[in-house]
Chain A
Amino acid sequence: MNLIVLAISAILINNFILTRFLGICPFLGVSRKISSALGMSLALILVVFSSAMLSYGFYFLVLKPLGLEYLYLVSFILIIASFVQFVEMFMKKYMVGLYKALGIYLPLITTNCVVLTVAIDVATKTNGITGVGFTFPEAIVYSLAVPVGYMIILILFSAMQEKLQINSKVPAPFKGNGIALVTAALMALAFAGFGGLI
């Protein structure tokens, strides 16, 4: 039960883009087309899940027994950067089709705050449902639910952006980032309605 509540809360209520403002750069930059939003978020699901699992394991099996918890930031960012590099090389060699579809988004993802935040969350923070640290199953659910929530927002938003680009009635100063941010504000208002769900 807790796992379902955790997933719903991560996807709809504590959505990373709309309530925690993480991963805004790709949100404003990449999401002008549905196809690139989809590619970006699929690559993100892969990277967030795997690097969160690696960081979780590293924190509890290496850093904590050695009493080196304060090194979490340096080690997580290294894990993420090297993992992304590895995935990129692996895909290039063995999965050329997938590389052509997702490869260009991978370098962008290294500096996406969502990846680092999920890794920090599952390893060092308490989860909002039970009030204690993440157990392993909770970490799995959380690190899958967060990028899925990100994907939902990114795709909805890029669909609206595609419409807005055709529409010429947008006032000139609002073109580009202005109208994108106002759209995001309206989406945030709509998603605030999910607040009372749990």
Chain B
Amino acid sequence: MKKSKIFTSGIFTSNPIFVLFLGMCPVLATTSSFSTAFGMGLAVTAVLMLTNILISAIRKLVPNEVRIPVYIVVIATVVTIIEMIMKAFTPDLAATLGIYLSIIVVNCIILGRAEAFASKNSVLDSFLDGIGTGLGFLAGLLIISLLREVIGTGALKFQEPFANTVLFNIRLFPQEYAISLFTQNAGAFLMLGLVAASINALKGPIQRFKDKQAQKKLAKVAAKPATNA
């Protein structure tokens, strides 16, 4: 497979949130504000990149029978390291994410990529796959949190995690028109349900468009030999 394709497939064609519907716990829990979603997405990307590299590097040493426990220990180690780094450099963000930072360990995406990709491919490919899937996850979190924060508060605020300064705070419409339900617990489920339904609704037209393109191509191929002859 081409390198660029490995990278982009995690973002678009097999996006962990929108296409595969994996790792939903952090998606629901950390998307109530744009800044926390950004922090969570970056943490997951870093973990995914490192675990993919490590697991790909040791893939020939690990006996097949015990590979899952080995992967879990590698993942837990990487998550511990990332958690310590975040507690040291971004203490407020680490406190906000709390338990969701620790339970990246049991996120299905991480073990899923380790098992499905990193255990079979070279280190460079696994690195690209890890970054691609991580960025796809980050993009999904950002889109959902953007919708939730804007509809729920009427403004979009971004807090830079290192120095805790507010980088921008844009008010799109007055607070009293905002539906604050969307920043609460029930709103998380509701927004994700609406997103899932819109993706389903878009699937039909996209498929039809693809079919049409394929038909056109077929027609061209079919027409060519005829003109040549």
Contact = CB atoms under 8 A, between A and B. Distances in A.
Interface of A: 18-25, 28, 70-71, 73-74, 77-78, 81-82, 111-113, 116-117, 120-121, 125, 171-182, 184-186, 188-189, 192
A175 B106 contact: no
B188 interface: yes
A15 to B, nearest CB: 10
Contact of B72 (A81, A117, A173): A81
B69 interface: yes
A192 B185 contact: yes
B96 to A, nearest CB: 14
Contacts of B194: 178, 182
Interface string B47-82: 000000000000000000000110011001101100
B185 A188 contact: yes
Contact of A179 (B69, B188, B193, B201): B193
Contacts of A25: 22-25, 108
Interface size class of B (residues with CB under 8 A): 35 or more
Interface stretch (B97-105, B161-169, B219-227): B97-105
A20 B103 CA distance: 12
Contact of B193 (A120, A182, A189): A182
Interface string B174-190: 00000000001111111
A74 B189 contact: no
A73 B83 contact: yes
Contacts of A180: 193
A175 to B, nearest CB: 7
Given A28-B24, A70-B80, A113 B103 contact: yes
A116 B189 contact: no
Interface string B1-44: 00000000000000000000111110011000000000000000
B59 to A, nearest CB: 20
A112 B24 CA distance: 12
B192 interface: yes
A113 B189 contact: no
A142 B173 CA distance: 43
Contacts of B143: none
A173 B197 contact: yes
Interface centre among B99, B105, B189, B201 (most CB of A within 10 A): B189
Nearest to B181: A189
B193 A117 contact: no
Contacts of A18: 185
Contacts of B105: 73, 77, 116
A12 to B, nearest CB: 13
A173 B198 contact: yes
Contacts of A179: 193
Contacts of A173: 197-198, 200-201
B106 A177 contact: no
Contacts of B186: 185-186, 188-189, 192
Contact of B25 (A23, A78, A175, A178): A23
Contact of B106 (A21, A111, A181, A186): A111
A173 B206 CA distance: 14
A23 B72 CA distance: 18
B185 to A, nearest CB: 5
B155 interface: no
A111 B111 contact: yes
B80 A24 contact: no
Interface string B95-124: 000010011011010010000000000000
Given A18-B185, A74-B80, A174-B197, A112 B72 contact: no
Given A22-B29, A22-B103, A113-B103, 16 more contacts: A25-B22, A74-B77, A111-B108, A113-B25, A116-B105, A121-B99, A125-B99, A171-B197, A173-B198, A177-B193, A178-B196, A181-B192, A182-B190, A185-B188, A185-B193, A186-B186
